[in-house]
Every structure is written in structure tokens, then in C-alpha cells.
């Protein structure tokens, strides 16, 4: 046995490092819900402790962990807590953290059923749950990817495959050179990851037929050009600033008649479809061909968790297919035919655990509560002179601004400096705004009131 091998067996045998990690994790959980939401200047400064050359000799595992905890933990953003409102991040449901921990020890890759029977089983089960929860066509397939960036890419790859195949053009064999033209129609507020997917797939951003949007960022249905079967129409469930939803019911009806491919980017918003009181927002979405959604946003799974749902299983598996002489396909699910990757971690474990734990009613209640807290935020901030809410708060996003761009910027910078809550800025129809995304299971009434007070303080610091 080599020396390093011996050391690693020791780490396994005496379990100290695992207990040490657990101790650190518990300490973290005890403070993260109350502490400064953004790292302090001192914590940021201490990150320089990581600036070191790759060591020549090996280090005791315990020492490595100690360094990670001492300088890493304080420099995290408290996204797990209830007052982090940046980027639609989402917290993590406790059972998800626990199940992910167990999954970490299993270290499974659900590429093929034969590589991970449990990973394959859980993926099949959750696929069915999604169909049921969102009332999607029975034959819809699910690919478990890293996030909605990847999910959008997969959905649009399936669209590209199918449209060209209908034109007797096999994209996998012939590529894009001299291929029939694919039209892409989307709203002027499409998410940047949709544009990235269009670029990566060689569809060309210049070719996009842009549709104007209303004051909430929704596509104006009457302005959608005539569609045909060579068109991909990309709609949105949850505008990243306002949280607004395109009118799926009306638009999909029309698009279906023309046989275009409809893709819905529903990173955080698709989840409104799982909430009785908010379902009207996604009415008609089941008429689309593919849907991209995140686990790690509204559902609060740990990072990284995205899902591509596709009603055309042959298109998505053909678009993402690969083969090799050593691949052992099974009659059960082989996850890699639904994702760009071959090997990937079994992110399904925590997704399954959270859905199994919450059930339909728990999902409904958790997400409706986020909506209520967003409404509470809008109501309370509207009563503070100097602030105004700029959107209809239909879901979980609140856009706030002050009386001038300059003031909005300064107030935002003060809020960030106070560290009692955290959020980022954005542009909304030419104006600088602050973007509040209520996306954590942990956000309480008290968290909202405390954050509103922080906004007030931040403004008072200037006046």
C-alpha cells in the first residue's frame, strides 16, 4: 500500500473528518439565519489566505477542512436564510441538504441504469411526478441537468433536431451548413441564457424575430409574426425582473395551429403552475413542446438542479444521443440520453427527497408563502416616502426604485453595505431599479419588515 493510500484509509476508518465537517455544518446552520447576509470586509479580506501555490507535500485532511471552514464559511452569502433577495437564488429545504449529504457518500452517476440503479429509479419516479404536478402530456420526458441554462439549451436542441428532421435534414449527420433556415421568435425580454442557447446552437442571434413586450415584460400577442412549422417560439414563465408570465393560453393555441415548436423558459416561474391560487398564471402552458425549469430556484433544492421537460422524447434523445461500443443500454431509464453530459452527479437524490417530503400541498404552501411575502414587501415599501414599486407583483419579484437613478444606485449600495439583507440592481425600461426576489422557504413576515426597515435606513443615510 502506498503512503497516501494508507492515509486515506485512515481517514475512512476513524471518521474524524466527517464528524469535523458535521460540526462545522451545524455551527453554520446555527448562525446563517441571523448573521450578516453578505460577508464582512474582514471576511472578504481573509479570502487571500487561499492564495497559495499547490503544496508539494500532502496535508492532514483535518487541517484542510479547518482552513476551508475558517476562511470559507464567513465569506459565504447567506442564501440559505430569509433575507437574501438577489438573483432569484432560492434557499435549500433542510431534507434536501440531508439527502444530498447521504448522496455525497453514495457518489453515484445516473448516466446509465447499470451505473446507478437507484439514480435511474429516482429519475423515472420524479419524471412522472413532474408530469402529474404540471399536468403535462403523458409521454413527456425529463432530463436532470445543472440548471435552466442547460435546460434551455437542451429544449432548443430538441426543437432544432425536430424542425430540420421534418425538412429531411439530419442535423447530427449534416450539421448546419446549407441546412434549411430555422426561424426563432421571442420577446424582447427573453432571458440572456435563452440568447446564449440560440448562439451556441448556431441559430444566430441576428436571426431572432423580436416581439415587443408590454409594461410588465410580457409578449404582446397581437405582435407575434405569422408562424410556421420551421419556427421556434420561445415564451417565458416568470420575467426575471417583474416575475410576469406570457399569455400561454392564447399564444400557444395560435402557435399550435401553425405547428411551430413552443419552448417555455420557466426557470423559477413554472412553479406557479403547482400552486392552486397562482395556477392562472401558467394556464395553457401544457400546450408547449418543451419546458425549462429549475429545482434550485423556487423549489429550493440545493444547487445545481435544472430540469428539461420535453413532450417529444424522440427529438430530445436524438438531439442529445451518443453511443459507444462500451455503453450498456438498459430497458430501464438511462439518464444520459436526456442530458448533454454522460457522467454527472445524481442531483436527483435531493430533488426526489424534497418533493417526497413536501408533497403537492407542501409545494403549494411553500411557494404561495413566497408570493405572500413578496406582496407584503411591496405593500410595506410603498408606504415609505421615497420608494415606489414598479411592477404588478403577480409572483415573487418586486421592482423598487427611488426618485432618480442616482438615488436608487446610492440607496442600493447602502443596503448592500448594511448587510441586513441583500439584493441586486437591474434596468427596467431605461431606469435603474432594485430587484427583490422572494425565493426562500425561510423568509418570514419579520424578515420582510426588517428588510424594509433596512431600505428606510439606507435612504436616511443619504438625506
Ligand X SMILES: *Cc1c(COP(=O)(O)O)cnc(C)c1O
Which residue, 86 or 238, has its beta carbon nearer to ligand X? 238
Q: What is the per-residue binding string for ligand X in 55-94, x denoting contact by CB under 6 A?
A: ---------------------------------x------
Q: CA of 89: how far to CAs of 136, 144, 353, 366, in Å?
A: 26, 18, 19, 15
User: Is 240 near ligand X (CB under 6 A)?
Assistant: yes
Q: What is the per-residue binding string for ligand X in 2-41, x denoting contact by CB under 6 A?
A: ----------------------------------------
User: Is 294 near ligand X (CB under 6 A)?
Assistant: yes
**Least separation in angstroms between CB 191 and ligand X:** 3
Closest of 129, 152, 151, 149 to residue 140, by C-alpha = 129
Residue number of the CB atom closest to ligand X: 147
Contact 262, 250 (CB under 8 A): no
Which window, 102-110, 264-272, 365-373, 422-430, contacts ligand X (CB under 6 A)?
A: 264-272
The helix/strand/coil state of 46 is helix
Closest of 394, 380, 300, 315 to residue 93, by C-alpha = 300
User: Is 246 near ligand X (CB under 6 A)?
Assistant: no
| Three cell numbers written together for 16 | 474524524
| Three cell numbers written together for 247 | 399569455
Angle at 396 between CA 392 and CA 398, to 5 degrees: 50
Could you give the CA distance from residue 401 to residue 381 in angstroms, rounded to a whole number? 10
Which residue, 310 or 411, has its beta carbon nearer to ligand X? 310
User: Is 147 near ligand X (CB under 6 A)?
Assistant: yes
DSSP string, 125-169: HHHHHHHHHHT--TT-EEEEESSHHHHHHHHHHHHHHHHHHHTT-
| Three cell numbers written together for 299 | 423549489
**Least separation in angstroms between CB 240 and ligand X:** 4
Beta bridge partners of 235: 264
Which residue, 149 or 391, has its beta carbon nearer to ligand X? 149
| Positions 88 through 107 that interact with ligand X (CB under 6 A) | 88
Residue tagged 422524447 (cell numbers): 313
Which window, 3-11, 147-155, 225-233, 307-315, contacts ligand X (CB under 6 A)?
A: 147-155
Which residue, 148 or 454, has its beta carbon nearer to ligand X? 148
Contact 267, 88 (CB under 8 A): yes
Contact 174, 221 (CB under 8 A): no
**Least separation in angstroms between CB 315 and ligand X:** 21
User: Is 148 near ligand X (CB under 6 A)?
Assistant: yes
Q: What is the per-residue binding string for ligand X in 154-193, x denoting contact by CB under 6 A?
A: -------------------------------------x-x
User: CB within 8 A of 260, min separation 6: which ones?
Assistant: 185, 227, 228, 229, 230, 231, 232, 233
Which residue, 240 or 346, has its beta carbon nearer to ligand X? 240
Which window, 97-105, 154-162, 263-271, 453-461, contacts ligand X (CB under 6 A)?
A: 263-271
User: Is 149 near ligand X (CB under 6 A)?
Assistant: yes
Closest of 299, 306, 292, 309 to residue 348, by C-alpha = 306
Which residue, 267 or 310, has its beta carbon nearer to ligand X? 267
Which residue, 294 or 334, has its beta carbon nearer to ligand X? 294
User: Is 268 near ligand X (CB under 6 A)?
Assistant: yes
Which window, 2-10, 142-150, 171-179, 394-402, contacts ligand X (CB under 6 A)?
A: 142-150
Could you give the CA distance from residue 376 to residue 393 in angstroms, rounded to a whole number? 10
| Three cell numbers written together for 3 | 503512503
CA 209 to chain centre: 26
> Can you give the binding site for ligand X, defined by CB under 6 A?
88, 147-149, 191, 193, 238, 240, 265, 267-268, 294, 306
Amino acid at each position: 500500500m502506498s503512503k497516501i493510500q494508507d492515509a486515506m484509509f485512515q481517514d475512512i476508518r476513524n471518521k474524524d473528518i466527517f464528524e469535523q465537517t458535521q460540526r462545522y455544518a451545524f455551527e453554520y446552520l446555527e448562525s446563517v439565519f441571523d448573521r450578516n447576509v453578505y460577508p464582512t470586509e474582514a471576511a472578504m479580506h481573509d479570502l487571500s489566505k487561499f492564495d497559495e501555490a499547490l503544496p508539494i507535500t500532502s496535508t492532514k485532511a483535518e487541517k484542510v477542512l479547518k482552513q476551508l471552514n475558517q476562511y470559507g464559511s464567513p465569506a459565504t452569502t447567506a442564501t440559505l436564510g430569509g433575507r437574501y433577495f438577489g438573483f432569484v437564488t432560492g434557499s435549500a429545504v433542510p431534507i434536501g441538504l440531508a439527502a444530498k449529504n447521504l448522496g455525497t457518500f453514495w457518489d453515484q452517476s445516473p448516466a446509465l441504469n447499470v451505473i446507478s440503479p437507484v439514480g435511474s429509479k429516482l429519475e423515472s419516479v420524479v419524471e412522472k411526478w413532474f408530469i402529474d404536478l404540471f399536468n403535462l402530456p403523458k409521454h413527456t420526458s425529463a432530463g436532470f441537468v445543472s440548471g435552466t441554462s442547460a435546460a434551455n439549451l437542451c429544449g432548443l436542441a430538441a426543437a432544432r433536431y425536430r424542425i430540420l428532421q421534418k425538412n429531411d435534414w439530419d442535423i447530427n449527420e449534416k450539421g448546419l451548413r446549407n441546412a434549411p433556415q430555422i426561424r426563432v421568435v421571442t420577446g424582447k425580454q427573453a432571458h440572456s441564457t435563452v440568447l446564449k442557447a440560440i448562439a451556441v446552437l448556431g441559430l444566430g442571434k441576428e436571426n431572432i424575430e423580436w416581439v415587443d413586450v408590454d409594461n410588465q415584460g410580457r409578449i404582446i400577442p397581437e405582435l407575434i409574426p405569422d408562424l410556421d412549422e420551421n419556427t421556434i417560439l420561445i415564451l417565458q414563465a416568470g420575467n426575471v425582473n417583474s416575475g410576469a408570465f406570457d399569455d400561454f393560453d392564447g399564444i400557444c393555441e395560435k402557435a399550435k395551429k401553425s405547428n411551430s415548436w413552443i419552448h417555455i423558459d420557466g426557470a423559477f416561474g413554472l412553479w406557479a403552475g403547482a400552486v392552486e391560487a397562482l395556477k392562472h398564471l401558467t394556464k395553457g402552458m401544457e400546450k408547449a413542446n418543451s419546458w425549462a425549469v429549475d429545482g434550485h430556484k423556487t423549489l429550493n433544492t440545493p444547487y445545481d438542479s435544472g430540469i428539461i421537460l420535453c413532450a417529444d422524447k424522440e427529438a430530445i434523445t436524438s438531439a442529445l444521443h451518443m453511443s459507444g461500443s462500451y455503453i450498456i443500454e438498459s430497458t430501464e431509464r438511462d439518464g444520459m440520453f436526456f442530458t448533454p453530459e454522460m457522467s454527472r452527479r445524481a442531483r436527483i437524490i435531493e430533488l426526489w427527497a424534497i418533493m417526497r417530503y413536501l408533497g403537492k400541498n407542501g409545494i403549494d404552501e411553500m411557494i404561495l408563502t413566497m408570493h405572500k411575502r413578496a406582496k407584503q414587501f411591496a405593500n410595506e415599501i410603498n408606504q415609505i416616502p421615497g420608494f415606489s414599486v414598479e411592477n404588478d407583483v403577480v409572483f415573487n419579484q418586486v421592482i423598487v426604485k427611488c426618485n432618480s437613478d442616482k438615488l436608487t444606485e446610492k440607496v442600493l449600495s447602502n443596503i448592500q453595505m448594511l448587510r441586513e439583507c441583500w439584493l441586486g440592481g437591474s434596468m427596467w425600461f431605461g431606469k435603474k431599479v432594485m430587484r427583490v426576489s422572494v425565493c426562500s422557504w425561510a423568509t418570514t413576515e419579520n424578515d420582510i419588515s426588517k428588510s424594509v426597515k433596512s431600505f428606510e435606513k439606507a435612504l436616511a443615510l443619504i438625506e
